[in-house]
Structure 1
Amino acid sequence: MKNYLLKFYYKIPVIKDNIVILFNRIIFFILPPPSVKSTDESLNILINNNCSISRFGDGEFYLMNGDSLRFQPFSRELSFRLKEIIKSNHKNHEVFIPNIFEGFEWCTDKSKKYWSRYLDFNRYKIYKRLEKNKEYYDSLVTRLYIDHKDKSMTEKRFGLFKMLWNKQEIIIVEGEQSRLGIGNNLFDNAKSIKRILCPAINAFAKYDQILAEVKKQSKSKLILIALGPTATVLAYDLAVSGYRAIDIGHIDIEYEWFLNKATDKAPVKNKYVGEVPNGTNVQAINDSKYESEIISRIS
């Protein structure tokens, strides 16, 4: 009897998982998916509309549902702000979520496996966070290379992205050791670059200080933010304050993988990559140009 009970006890997590998976698969058939524009439509609005964007990915949804990330502990305030922003309709600000709800024709088998399993456990949780009838754009628009099965459009899409900051004065708000554009030509067509460095871990704990520092900058400058879920909130608050702010995420890492013709996610020398083994073991660099671009360090 004892052995039988123990076997049943150890099967409980599997049974629970199967119930959750079945429930989320049923949701696929009974609830309409959110309206999410394609990668190219999303890139088009970035290039041709003077809008700010906040992007939501799996990490932001985890935080909204009470979980922590490796580099961003759960915060009630952060969770509340994310829930607010994902339903927002502020002028000149758009919300981007992953374009994964109706199929995975665009992505590699590895990426398809990940997103399929993710939706099996989270589809309903995501749906209940969204604003019904709201039109969303694709948050994977900054993920232009590694997960795409067809990579023939990658170079053109990066070229379009570069039009965003062509001859623009830009402020990069990034995690310590992210070093966007260092070692490649991603931002070579910008008029000028200044950087505000923020904590790589738990950046949201310094949110008020980060926001205040960015607001010292002229509203004529383009703000590019690579700071995890903190960037999602920061881009929105800056848009409300009259700035153009782009939650630009992993575009620099994707660009590095593209230049290196990588076939899988891999560490990038001298840059913090939080989603791969050994990607956070980053060495110091001696780059006088990079150092000259730093106008503030928040720690």
Structure 2
Amino acid sequence: MKSHIKNIVSKLRYNIIVETFNALYLLRRKKQFAPKVVSIEETINKIVSEKCSVSRFGDGEILLTENHPIGFQKADKMLSKRLTEVFLSNEANHLICISDVFEDINRYNRRARRFWRTHFYLYGYIWEKLIDKKRIYYNTFITRPYMDFASKSKSGEWFLLLQKIWEQRDIVFIEGEKSRLGVGNDLFANTHSIKRILCPPRNAFDKYNTILSEATKLDKNSLILVALGPTATVLAYDLHKLGYQAIDIGHVDIEYEWCNMKVNHKVKIPNKFVNEQPGGDNVNSVNEEAYYNQIISKIE
């Protein structure tokens, strides 16, 4: 009973804080950094047609550029430096993706709108320092095409478009140890083959040099899909410069799970790490032989 009351009080406190920041944001709102962010469809089509690599910047990556820690990645000066380098880079066929939340956010649900208003009230100055208003950015919601949208009518279409990226490709997941992309669903069923390099689920950047070294042993015809938090943002960039097609794929597998479940709020997935849910790191083991046969390396 005490635990239940504590949770209610905690949620009330959170809601009061968020509503306060939302009100302050709306009161002081001004015409400011509004970069050009292309649509989900345009982003995916460019990746497919030109075999582009992708580095994504969400709220967490932006905080880390200023050396602020996030839930599963501690602050690291080198990571901060590298993320800033990647954001400001301009490599051919390497896309910088950011969230399409700078102007009209009515397409998103109330929870997402509140989050981004709060984020911009507190940290908008970081974006203003980094964004080039003359540049075209691509859409990070390619990896989050379900949960944050008010209408989920296009989510299925977006997932089908995404699958064209890896259709009949030999893919290698570089993922957190318990991320288990594609396990238990058919998101990657249209690939030619799957291999996996498992990495630490937290503070993966501590092992960055080892991860990069292991990745450079891969065939350059492979498509590398990286699900490793902010480390993926940097790794996709470095691998691209070495001649690989590497995509920071983020939470796409979890989003697909939620879409299949038809849930309207974030929930735990029994056998997958979900960092955005309390207890989401407490996951069951899997008994799929095919999954274990796909693992070619494990970095601890």
Corresponding residue of 2:243: 242
Q: How does 1:4-43 map to 2 (within 5 A)?
A: 21=24, 25-26=28-29, 28-29=30-31, 31-43=32-44
Matched, 1:125 2:129: no
**Unpaired segments ≥5 residues, structure 1:** 1-13
Distance (whole Å) between structure 1 residues aligned to residue 136 and residue 71 of structure 2: 30
* Paired amino acid for 2:297: S
Corresponding residue of 1:103: 104
Corresponding residue of 2:87: 86
Distance (whole Å) between structure 1 residues aligned to residue 105 and residue 44 of structure 2: 19
Deviations 1:106-162 (A, max 9, x none): 101111111111111122221102234121111122101111111111111101101
SS where residue 284 of structure 1 aligns? Answer: coil
Distance (whole Å) between structure 2 residues aligned to residue 173 and residue 22 of structure 1: 38
Deviations 1:217-238 (A, max 9, x none): 0100000000000000000000
2:25·2:120 contact (CA, 8 Å) conserved in 1?
A: no
Corresponding residue of 2:64: 63
* Paired amino acid for 1:271: K
Deviations 1:16-60 (A, max 9, x none): x98xx569945x32x341111122222222222211000000000
Corresponding residue of 2:201: 200
1:86·1:131 contact (CA, 8 Å) conserved in 2?
A: no
Corresponding residue of 1:218: 219
Distance (whole Å) between structure 2 residues aligned to residue 22 and residue 70 of structure 1: 24
1:167·1:189 contact (CA, 8 Å) conserved in 2?
A: yes
RMSD: 1.8
Corresponding residue of 2:77: 76
Gap change, CA 1:134 and 1:294, over 3 Å in 2: same
Corresponding residue of 1:6: none
Corresponding residue of 1:184: 185
2:33·2:133 contact (CA, 8 Å) conserved in 1?
A: no
SS where residue 269 of structure 1 aligns? Answer: coil
Corresponding residue of 1:283: 284
How many aligned residue pairs are there? 281
Corresponding residue of 2:10: none
* Paired amino acid for 1:100: V
Following superposition, the deviation at residue 70 of structure 1 comes to: 1.6
**Unpaired segments ≥5 residues, structure 2:** 1-16
Distance (whole Å) between structure 1 residues aligned to residue 186 and residue 250 of structure 2: 17
Corresponding residue of 2:169: 168
Corresponding residue of 1:10: none
SS where residue 196 of structure 2 aligns? Answer: strand
Corresponding residue of 2:293: 292
1:193·1:293 contact (CA, 8 Å) conserved in 2?
A: yes
1:34·1:127 contact (CA, 8 Å) conserved in 2?
A: no
* Paired amino acid for 1:146: M
What is the TM-score of this pair, normalised by structure 1? 0.90
Corresponding residue of 1:140: 141
Kindly name which structure, 1 or 2, has the bigger radius of gyration based on alpha carbons: 1
